[in-house]
């Protein structure tokens, strides 16, 4: 069942979302040559806990980190380790924080120093596809209107969208109904209603959309070894324009 949030619950989600977005920004500021992903992960955890919240991902389904940190061909669910970033890497950071029983969830891909034009194009297309999608995140439209807009934008710009993983509802649980794919026909899926809170998260590949999961059962890479990028925000369906809940604020 899709949960419609009350005004009080929405305010709680704004607070959780603000912490989550600030943690994402902190992680992005640390992406530079010589820094390890485990260092970024530790900083994210310290920051979230300093705000009285908990990392949503830590221990979720057995995940060992506080953030998913995915480099280059890793699409999602990269496990933080002692690998040091090098010039030219692109680094996707996916962060969640739970505060007073409500979650925020967001992600972005950051350049490590100077990156290739192809890599920058991929990062730009991924983020812009999110904004193209949420133009349709209005009451009365359907979930797949968002999905279709994301896919159209990505494919028009020479990239592909992952099919095996999708966005989702967010609230008291990190993953709630409905599923929010980044592909599909417009006019399908649940109807959007004020009070719905969903994570829209394009996962985009420079090459083909096929992915595979490594032996650790988390790390998900492009099947063809091409670069991948990820961009996500938790949004609220309102009576008009959608509100981005994972906004860092002041």
Work out the burial of residue 156: count CB atoms within 10 Å of its CB; fewer than 13 is exposed, 13-18 middle, 19 or more buried: exposed
Give the pLDDT confidence of 84-102 residue by residue, as tens digits: 999 999 999 999 999 999 9
pLDDT along the chain (250 residues), means of 10: 97 98 98 98 98 98 98 98 98 98 98 98 98 98 98 98 98 98 98 98 98 98 98 98 90
Helix extents (H) in the chain: 7-29, 37-50, 117-134, 143-156
Where along the chain do its domains lie? 7-244
Q: Which pTM does this prediction carry?
A: 0.97
Q: Residue 200 in contact with residue 146, Cβ under 8 Å?
A: yes
Question: In angstroms, rounded to a whole number, what is the distance separating the alpha carbons of residues 223 and 39?
Answer: 28
- Residue 154 in 3-state DSSP? helix
pLDDT at 115: 98
pLDDT at 76: 98
pLDDT at 113: 98
pLDDT at 250: 58
pLDDT at 249: 74
Question: In angstroms, rounded to a whole number, what is the distance separating the alpha carbons of residues 227 and 3?
Answer: 35
Question: In angstroms, rounded to a whole number, what is the distance separating the alpha carbons of residues 211 and 163?
Answer: 9
Distances in Å between the alpha carbon of 92 and those of 9, 106, 222?
29, 11, 14
Cis peptide before 178 (omega within 30 of 0): yes
Q: Identify which of 171, 134, 128 has the alpha carbon closest to the alpha carbon of residue 14.
A: 171
Give the pLDDT confidence of 31-54 residue by residue, as tens digits: 999 999 999 999 999 999 999 999
Q: Which CATH class is domain 7-244?
A: alpha beta
Question: In angstroms, rounded to a whole number, what is the distance separating the alpha carbons of residues 148 and 28?
Answer: 29
Question: In angstroms, rounded to a whole number, what is the distance separating the alpha carbons of residues 169 and 176?
Answer: 4
pLDDT at 248: 86
Give residue for tokens 């070894």.
Answer: 225
Question: In angstroms, rounded to a whole number, what is the distance separating the alpha carbons of residues 151 and 149?
Answer: 5
Question: In angstroms, rounded to a whole number, what is the distance separating the alpha carbons of residues 88 and 128?
Answer: 21
């Amino acid at each position: 069942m899709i949960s419609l949030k009350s005004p009080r619950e929405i305010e709680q989600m704004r607070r959780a979302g603000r912490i989550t977005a600030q943690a994402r920004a902190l992680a992005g500021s640390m992406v530079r040559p010589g820094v390890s992903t485990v260092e970024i992960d530790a900083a994210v955890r310290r920051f979230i806990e300093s705000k009285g919240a908990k990392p949503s991902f830590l221990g979720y389904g057995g995940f060992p980190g506080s953030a998913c940190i995915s480099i280059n061909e890793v699409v999602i669910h990269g496990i933080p380790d002692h690998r040091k970033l090098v010039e030219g890497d692109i680094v996707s950071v996916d962060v969640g924080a739970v505060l007073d029983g409500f979650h925020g969830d967001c992600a972005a891909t950051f350049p490590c120093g100077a990156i290739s034009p192809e890599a920058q194009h991929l990062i730009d297309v991924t983020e812009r596809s999110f904004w193209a999608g949420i133009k349709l995140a209005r009451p009365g439209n359907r979930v797949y209107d968002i999905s279709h807009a994301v896919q159209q934008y990505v494919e028009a710009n020479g990239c592909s969208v992952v099919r095996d993983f999708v966005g989702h509802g967010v609230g008291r649980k990190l993953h709630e109904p409905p599923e929010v794919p980044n592909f599909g026909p417009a006019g399908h899926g649940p109807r959007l209603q004020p009070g719905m809170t969903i994570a829209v998260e394009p996962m985009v590949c420079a090459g083909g959309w096929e992915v595979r999961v490594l032996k650790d059962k988390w790390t998900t890479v492009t099947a063809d070894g091409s670069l991948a990028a990820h961009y996500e925000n938790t949004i609220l369906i309102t009576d008009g324009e959608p509100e981005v809940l994972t906004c860092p604020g002041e």
